[in-house]
């Protein structure tokens, strides 16, 4: 069936390629006849397969699991509540031992290895210890890094620097190691090294960590006892984790399914049997719990019996049994979720997968379908992703200020299942660098290709004409090359490949929907105008170097807005739309995202065009202009806009902001904007605002902010530097939904208003580089709360 469907897709793609090459005065009649004939043949073939499958389904050999339907009911009202919590059931003793070793009275650097099989809970245990609130007071520096089987030393060191909250550096390995060492020297630090696979990996990093008698600790997790023994401090014991016993397994299953409620009596016996068959592995138990929850009616006894029968222990080892259970969970996924899950195999091991990028790729691949509630495919992608998270097949790595998922990950064991299934089903093919230089020839048997490039200037020649998607992963400093022979490419994610390398072949890809590439100062013609001729492009992602030293901005042709299907235009530096030669270009563009654009002018024409825009990031350079020059009075007419980021490049900005914002805004970020505190009613009156960030506000007049009731009704996250604010007056009713307050660089205000501490929803306060008295008031507030 899959092969027949692929052939039908080939017919459609070939037809589009044929039509695109026909001259304007040519006829498409012959192409239409060929398409009709080919699709009729494909339809007939699929019909025969369907009939044969129905005959097989009527036999006694196909009565296994089709009686129970699994579909997860996702609550869209709260992403936070729908996310499963990480459990540490059964590991209380382990956690106590680890904490004692972290805080024991020893000035020497101590390496504490935690060893155990995959899925047993090593990372969860380490995370629980790492997140202990006492750590931030006991250790001066804390950082978390993941090494994995395939690691690049430079990547790990760079990630370690970032975790230590230092600036990201583009130095070589030796310089990065030196920066890490200097950052840690003389300080009591805690480093967690998660998922290390070899003694060589430990030897690559151990000299980076100073042993200067500060009482520092390194917590290390691994599956291999020899790695743990090699890395441990002399005579220090290796902490070996064990599988849960039957009672602990049942306790974890109950909590994962029913949370704080008790299990109905009629399900206890079969539930204990299921827990026992999970082999004491927490990962397997949690995944099975997700499977039970996805039944739509978790109280039905036949659902539990069905799962119990299909995970009964018949394998000789725990590892094989757990692998079988995880495969069973994949097999029970609805068809709509299977390709979305398999797509995770394309991303590097232990990577934090950007949710926004992942969903855009799903859209481009055609995996998503909208429903009657929302026609937006990106909204459907969020629902699909939450479904996979709720089934415990994906892990939440990071949430945004509004509680939505920002990055996700996957456990190593589930990733292995994902890769295996992707290869078995001809879904995805993996290749990686093998030689030091030269050319890699890829004869790809599948329609999707994932390339892992670790060599600079390496060329990849992809010979197979059936390739539809190419995803290339490499470090930012590498410059790979790529040569594609297929005309049917729909997804080309090559953010490190420069435009000149792709320019001679890109015109052939008439079906291209997702395109990521790099521009730098070596591109003499700036942004390639020819891209605007691709009729099916939905997402354009440009990774470009800081070229403002070489020219003012990258000029993007205004004609880009003519593109019929373009939805996302994403740029990691400033682009600038060129002035239109014809203001009647197009109306109601499908564009949902523009980031990041320079000196954007909100003309009436642009407002009419961008009626569907949801996210906009703008940077103003204010060259001899004030705000009136940019027609900001029209900004409020972008009624679909939900996320707005506005900044200026030079500080301070003398021109004062007093313009209204779009009424539908949910997220607003202002940076280096002269916005007086007495004008805050402009922002407070936005009815849907959930996230507000105001930093370095260039307010020159010392003032006070007296808040008014009936504003900021939905605000959950407030981050600000409180520039020039001397007094802040509020009651808890002024921020009725506030969950997080982040203040950075607040130098004038002496204390946090007492009304903040009385807000029922408040969970988190963070202070950075603030006045000492402000810190003391926060500590007193925390003490009072406890």
Q: Which of 501, 611, 732, 278 is nearest to 752 (CA)?
A: 732
Q: What is the pLDDT of residues 444-491, one digit of tens each?
A: 668 899 998 888 888 888 887 788 999 999 887 788 888 888 888 999
Buried b (16+ CB within 10 A) or exposed e, 262-278: ebeeebeebbbbbbbbb
pLDDT in tens, 671-685: 988 888 888 999 999
What's the chain's average pLDDT? 82
Average pLDDT over residues 342-349: 93
pLDDT band at 169 (very low <50, low <70, confident <90, very high): low
pLDDT class of 538 with cuts at 50, 70, 90: very high
Secondary structure (H, E, C), 222-264: ECCHHHHHHHCCCCCCCEECCCCCHHHHHHHHHHHHHCCCCCC
Note the pLDDT tens digit of each residue in 668-717.
999 988 888 888 999 999 999 999 999 988 777 778 899 988 899 999 99
E strands within 444-584?
Answer: 448-452, 459-462, 469-473, 481-484, 491-498, 514-519, 539-544, 554-556, 568-577
Give the chain's largest Cα–Cα span: 86
pLDDT-derived band of residue 168, with 50, 70 and 90 as boundaries?
low
Q: Residue 652: is the preceding peptide bond cis (ω within 30°)? A: yes
Q: Would you state the pLDDT for residue 120?
A: 85
Q: Which run of H or E residues covers position 102?
A: helix 92-103
Give the range with max mean pLDDT: 77-91, 364-378, 739-753: 739-753
Asked if 418 contacts 344 with a C-beta cutoff of 8 angstroms, the reply is yes
- Whether residue 63 is predicted with pLDDT greater than 60 in this model: the reply is no
**676, 699 in Cβ contact below 8 A?**
yes
> What pLDDT is stored for residue 471 in this prediction?
94
CA 666: distance to chain centroid?
Answer: 20
- Read off the pLDDT of residues 596-653 as tens digits, 9 standing for 90 and up: 888 888 988 888 888 999 999 999 887 777 888 889 999 999 999 999 999 988 655 5
Give yes or no for residue 428 having a pLDDT over 50.
yes
Q: What is the pLDDT of residue 73?
A: 35
- The whole-number pLDDT of residue 666 equals 96
CB 645 within 8 A of CB 595: yes
Task: Please tell me the predicted confidence (pLDDT) of residue 216.
Answer: 92
Kindly tell me if the per-residue pLDDT of 10 is higher than 90: no
Q: What gap in Å lies between CA 456 and CA 474, rounded to an integer? A: 9
- pLDDT for residue 506: 83
The pLDDT assigned to 57 comes to 62
């Amino acid at each position: 069936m899959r092969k027949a469907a692929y052939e039908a897709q080939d017919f459609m793609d070939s037809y589009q390629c044929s039509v695109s090459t026909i001259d304007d005065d040519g006829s498409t009649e012959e192409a239409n006849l060929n398409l009709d004939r080919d699709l009729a043949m494909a339809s007939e073939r699929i019909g025969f397969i369907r009939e044969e499958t129905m005959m097989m389904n009527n036999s006694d050999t196909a009565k296994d699991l089709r009686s129970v339907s699994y579909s997860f009911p996702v609550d869209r009202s709260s992403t936070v509540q729908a996310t499963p919590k990480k459990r540490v059931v059964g590991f209380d003793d382990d956690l106590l031992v680890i904490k004692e070793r972290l805080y024991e009275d020893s000035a020497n650097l101590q390496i504490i290895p935690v060893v155990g099989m995959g899925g047993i809970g090593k990372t969860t245990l380490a995370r629980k210890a790492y997140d202990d609130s006492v750590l931030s007071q006991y250790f001066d520096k804390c950082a978390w890094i993941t090494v994995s089987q395939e690691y690049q030393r430079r990547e790990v060191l760079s990630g370690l620097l970032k975790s230590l909250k230092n600036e990201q550096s583009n130095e070589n390995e030796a310089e990065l190691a030196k920066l890490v060492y200097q950052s840690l020297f003389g300080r009591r630090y805690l480093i967690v090294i998660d998922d290390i696979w070899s003694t060589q990996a430990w030897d690559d990093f151990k000299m980076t960590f100073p042993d200067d008698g500060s009482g520092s600790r390194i917590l290390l997790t691994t599956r291999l006892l020899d790695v743990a023994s090699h890395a441990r401090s002399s005579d220090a014991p290796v902490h070996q984790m064990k599988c849960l016993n039957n009672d602990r397994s049942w306790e974890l299953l109950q909590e994962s399914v029913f949370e704080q409620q008790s299990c109905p009596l009629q399900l206890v016996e079969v539930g204990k049997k299921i827990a026992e068959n999970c082999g004491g592995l927490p990962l397997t138990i949690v995944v099975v719990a997700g499977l039970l929850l996805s039944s739509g009616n978790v109280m039905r006894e036949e659902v539990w019996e069905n799962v119990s029968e299909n995970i009964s222990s018949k394998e000789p080892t725990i590892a094989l049994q757990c692998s079988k259970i995880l495969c069973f969970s994949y097999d029970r996924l609805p068809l709509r979720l299977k390709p979305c899950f398999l797509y995770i195999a394309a991303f590097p091991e232990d990577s934090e997968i950007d949710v926004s990028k992942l969903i855009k790729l799903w859209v481009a691949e055609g995996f998503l379908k909208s429903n009657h509630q929302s026609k937006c495919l990106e909204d459907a992608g969020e629902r699909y992703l939450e479904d996979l998270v709720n089934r415990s097949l994906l892990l939440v790595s990071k949430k945004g200020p509004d509680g939505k998922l920002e990055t996700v990950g996957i456990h190593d064991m589930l990733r292995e299942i994902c890769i295996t299934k992707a290869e078995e089903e001809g879904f995805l093919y993996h290749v990686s660098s093998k030689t030091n230089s030269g050319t890699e020839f890829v004869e790809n048997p599948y329609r999707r290709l994932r390339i892992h490039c670790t060599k600079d200037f390496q060329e990849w020649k992809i010979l197979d004409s059936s390739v539809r998607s190419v995803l290339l992963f490499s470090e930012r400093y590498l410059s790979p090359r790529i040569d594609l022979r297929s005309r049917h490419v729909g997804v080309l994610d090559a953010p490190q490949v420069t435009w000149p390398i792709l320019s001679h072949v890109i015109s052939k890809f008439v079906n291209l929907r997702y395109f990521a590439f790099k521009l730098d100062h070596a591109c003499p013609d700036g942004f390639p105008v020819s891209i605007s001729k691709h009729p099916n492009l939905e997402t354009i992602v440009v990774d470009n170097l800081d070229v403002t030293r070489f020219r003012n901005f990258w000029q993007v042709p205004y004609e880009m807005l003519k593109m019929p299907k373009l939805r996302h235009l994403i740029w990691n530096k400033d682009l600038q739309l060129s002035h239109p030669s014809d203001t009647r270009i197009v109306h109601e563009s499908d564009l949902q995202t523009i980031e990041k654009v320079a000196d954007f002018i909100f003309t009436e024409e642009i407002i009419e065009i961008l009626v569907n825009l949801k996210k906009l990031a703008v940077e103003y350079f204010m060259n001899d202009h004030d705000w009136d020059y940019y027609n900001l009075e029209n900004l409020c007419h972008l009624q679909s806009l939900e996320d707005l980021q506005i900044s200026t490049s030079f500080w301070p900005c003398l021109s004062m902001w007093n313009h209204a914002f779009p009424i539908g805004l949910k997220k607003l970020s202002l940076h280096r904007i002269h916005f007086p505190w007495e004008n805050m009613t402009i922002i407070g009156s936005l009815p849907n605002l959930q996230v507000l960030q105001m930093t370095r506000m260039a307010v020159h007049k010392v003032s006070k902010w007296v808040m008014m009731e009936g504003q900021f009704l939905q605000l959950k996250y407030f981050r600000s530097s409180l520039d020039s604010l001397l007094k802040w007056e509020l009651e808890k009713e002024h921020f009725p939904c506030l969950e997080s307050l982040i203040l950075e660089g607040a130098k004038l205000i002496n204390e946090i208003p007492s009304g903040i501490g009385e807000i029922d929803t408040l969970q988190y306060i963070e202070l950075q580089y603030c006045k000492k008295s402000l810190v003391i008031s926060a500590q007193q507030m925390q003490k009072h709360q406890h």
